Amino acid sequence: NWTMVNIAEESIEAIRRQVGDRRAICGLSGGVDSAVAAALVQRAIGDKLTCVYVDHGLMRKGESEQVEKDFVASTGVDLRVVDAEERFLTALAGVTDPEEKRKIIGREFIRVFEAAAREISTEGEVEFLVQGTLYPDVVESGGGTGTANIKSHHNVGGLPDDLQFGLIEPLRALFKDEVRALGEQLGLPAEIVWRQPFPGPGLGIRIIGEVTRDRLDLLRDADAIAREELTRAGLDRDVWQFPVVLLADVRSVGVQGDGRTYGHPVVLRPVSSEDAMTADWSRLPYELLERISTRITNEVREVNRVVLDITSKPPGTIEWE
Ligand code: XMP
């Protein structure tokens, strides 16, 4: 794809001119935007770029490994992983309110990222922050650019005043499909390039009720089955997003194996959408829904019921919290 080769080369050249031999950091979220932005900057300035991945323990099955191993293997990026699961779970203990969960996760994320940035800065001053801002984000936020303390955007927002960075935003002119094409061009793993949008607060807002490690493990297992079967059915690219939600505070009676169970339901929430502003529930084939339901109830301990969310947005949102 010649266009993408040109975009990649021009962008790498522009980053080199902007950064020279100074240092940059980039926060990886596991999503395609930050991954492609980091890969471009790595090509431009090599080990003058340090990436930080805050593992908050709220990712889906296999996602952290894809960042820590496959992404690093395909890009050669210098990656620091911060294992912050314990810290996030402690901060979330006892919390059930959706907005409170979001606030806590956002706050802890900034604190952990900031600490990592400071530590990296002690090895030599860091002057730039890489962000995976896309063209639609630019339009939405009024088109401003600059050297500010990072606009409040997704996960990385509002770093304190004494951490000043210039911004490197190599994807500012691109749409999502172009970013994916660029990611393929740069040789990133398909799992990252084609990943569905995933909320910053992760599975923390897909557990209705308190977030605990056991519940996360349970949801990770159910979610992995749904994703696996969707892929097997060849329908990955027909579905915008496929949240699986654990109703952790609800129990219902079931019968499994030799007897009565009293377990939790999970909700399947496949949606089709153009931009997440509106969405419709996906009409997945019954055979696929059946396979997902059978496998989840057979393989995931404590889940004895699978229900399908058939609400469009509006009135429902895509996520349950
Ligand atoms: P809703 O649930 O509002 O979600 O219909 C719209 C889109 O936004 C994603 N989402 C988030 N993304 N941080 C993010 O980066 C968040 O806090 C967040 N909350 C929701 C959601 O997955 C959907 O794609």
Predicted local distance difference test score (pLDDT) of residue 92: 98
201 alpha carbon – ligand 1 mean position (Å): 9
Q: Is the pLDDT of residue 90 over 50?
A: yes
Match domain 206-308 to its CATH number in 3.30.300.10, 3.90.1150.10, 3.40.50.150, 3.30.70.141: 3.30.300.10
Pick left, alpha or beta for residue 320 (phi over 0 → left; psi -120 to 50 → alpha; otherwise beta).
Answer: alpha
Q: Is a pLDDT exceeding 50 seen at residue 152?
A: no
The residues, ordered by sequence, that sit 6+ positions from 183 with a Cβ below 8 Å of its Cβ are: 32, 35, 36, 39, 192, 193
CATH 3.40.50.620 spans which residues of the chain? 2-193
Q: Provide CATH 3.30.300.10 ranges for the chain.
A: 206-308
Atom of ligand 1 nearest to the CA of 320: 2
Question: Does the pLDDT of residue 144 top 60, yes or no?
Answer: no
With both helix axes pointing from N to C terminus, report the angle between 286-299 and 213-232 in degrees, rounded to the nearest 10: 150
User: Residue 161 above 80 pLDDT?
Assistant: no
- Tell me the pTM: 0.91
SS3 content of the chain, % helix, strand, coil (to 5): 45, 20, 35
ipTM associated with this complex: 0.98
Q: Is 153 in the pocket of ligand 1 (CB under 6 A)?
A: no
- In this predicted structure, the answer to whether residue 147 has a pLDDT above a threshold of 90 is no
Residue 210 has pLDDT above 70, yes or no: yes
pLDDT score of 162 more than 80: no
Nearest CA to ligand 1 atom 14: 199
What's the pLDDT tens digit per position in 164-204?
899 999 999 999 999 999 999 999 999 999 999 999 999 99
First to last CA, the chain: 40
**Banded model confidence at residue 297, pLDDT cuts 50, 70, 90:** very high
CATH 3.40.50.620 correct for 2-193: yes
Q: Per-residue confidence at 130, pLDDT binned at 50, 70, 90?
A: very high
Among protein residues, the one with the nearest Cα to ligand 1's atom 9 is 199
- State yes or no: pLDDT of 156 exceeds 90: no
Ligand 1 pocket mutation, candidates 269, 318, 321, criterion most atoms within 8 A of CB: 318
Mean pLDDT, the chain, rounded, equals 93
Q: Which pLDDT does position 143 carry in this prediction?
A: 58
User: How close is the Cα of 43 to the center of ligand 1, in Å?
Assistant: 30
More confident position, 151 or 42? 42
